Amino acid sequence: MDIWLIDTEEGTQLRPESVHGMLWLQTHFEDEHWEALSSKKVRLTTEDAKALSSDAEEAGLRINHVPSLSITRKF
């Protein structure tokens, strides 16, 4: 997997998982964001995550988009 997109309550977390994923992201984000990208601290809106996913897949990257999960408990 090159890039994971993980839905959270705060937005979609962007997690580069391979050298190819990180290099591709570096061509799409400014230098000032690279540290946040490499430390997996970037969150995107749902629409931006979908657009990024589409562009990355067209470039041949492997993307895994994980929807948010919720666990309900009965007491």
The answer to whether 16 and 3 have CB atoms below 8 angstroms apart is yes
pLDDT for the residue numbered 63: 97
- SS3 of 42, please? strand
pLDDT for the residue numbered 9: 86
* Distance, CA of 70 to CA of 66 (rounded, Å): 12
The answer to whether 63 and 3 have CB atoms below 8 angstroms apart is yes
pLDDT band at 67 (very low <50, low <70, confident <90, very high): confident
Tens of pLDDT, residues 13-37: 999 999 999 999 999 999 999 899 9
